[in-house]
Structure 1
């Protein structure tokens, strides 16, 4: 027999206090439960509590499956399974095709990175250079137009300046379109970790509630009903055989 006031011994230590809290909630709400109307009449909570704690091994069996599921899900949340490590081959690995495929992939990635870098530089520099050229040609052309007599080359220089201005506008538009297309092709990756953790946290909460309900409805309540039965000399717990 367990000593009076002892905590549940077969539960994990972190769940013993929770078990006693559930018991205290049931005893506290006993006046509101018709089936526990005898609490306070011929048996007081102070006497029932150690009786229930003494019968912990029998009471918790009624909710054993729910408790095992709760502990399992809780452990999964606390100690998530490590992600599958990427394959690693030693320098001397003889697996066919591994070295060749790795070299091709590396070269492809390098070429893509180089191409992307050159494209980005060109997209940035083209509007700047053509804009500067446009400003210079227009300035020189209009200054020459102010000279009397007007040299014939001034008109050509001004026209060239406007051409460079049009190229600048087109380059800016192309850069904007390129950025939009790049953003559409490469949307930001969503990290699934927090959502998985959130779902697992909800699952733990549901498993905990299921254990609480089973513990109360199939364990504590039947024991208290038997203990409060007027013709019973000792509680006859109706748990699973």
Structure 2
């Protein structure tokens, strides 16, 4: 926001208005007022900022400042992903059924119970394998799509949304606020002169 403020302060209309008011407000004072009201100024372009954040969410390798982030990219492999962890649950449950089932069959105790446990364990292991294959396909497709979009569509969308936000911040936020501050300071100065 400070960069946008500096750009707004260097615009011709703002510089002319500061010169016209004849020292009623200084550049430093005007800048301090704008920084103090940054929340209100940002609220005037909230829709554009939200659109920028949504575009940014598609490319998590960038931070809101547009800098490269050390966080993992959207298309990188991650063991923390619930989709990757899900196959582990039926696999563990399958082993918990298979071990006692095999034990009951080996030691000859209640073979129908052992057979049932082994069947349930094998079914759960099959579910785990199917889920793992599906997850690997999904991760491969996601990685390839993110990689192809990273330098293309996603990057362009993030840049477009950031530009729209900065333009709106300048036109509807900074410039009107600075002009109002200058006009207010000028009116106060004229009132003081009249009172004298």
Unaligned runs of 5+ in 2: 61-72, 76-80, 95-120, 131-143, 190-196
- Say which of 149, 160, 168 aligns to 1:206: 160
Query: Counterparts of 1:210 and 1:69 in 2: how far apart (Å)?
Result: 9
- Say which of 10, 18, 38 aligns to 2:17: 38
Match of 1:67 in 2: 49
Distance 1:232 1:219, change over 3 A: farther
Is the Cα contact below 8 Å between 2:74 and 2:146 reproduced in 1? no
1:223-238 to 2 correspondences below 5 Å? 223-229=177-183, 232-233=187-188
Secondary structure of 2:58's partner?
A: helix
Equivalent pairs counted in the alignment come to 124
Larger Rg: 1
- Say which of 75, 80, 83 aligns to 2:74: 80
Query: Counterparts of 1:22 and 1:57 in 2: how far apart (Å)?
Result: 14
Q: RMSD of the alignment, in Å?
A: 3.5
Query: Counterparts of 2:157 and 2:82 in 1: how far apart (Å)?
Result: 21
Query: Counterparts of 2:15 and 2:172 in 1: how far apart (Å)?
Result: 15
Query: Counterparts of 1:87 and 1:71 in 2: how far apart (Å)?
Result: 29
CA-CA distance at 1:84 after TM superposition: 5.2
**Bigger relative contact order, structure 1 or 2 (CA pairs below 8 A, ≥6 apart):** 2
Distance 1:38 1:196, change over 3 A: same
Query: Counterparts of 1:83 and 1:204 in 2: how far apart (Å)?
Result: 27
Match of 1:22 in 2: 4
Secondary structure of 2:19's partner?
A: coil
Match of 1:215 in 2: 169
Distance 1:86 1:46, change over 3 A: closer
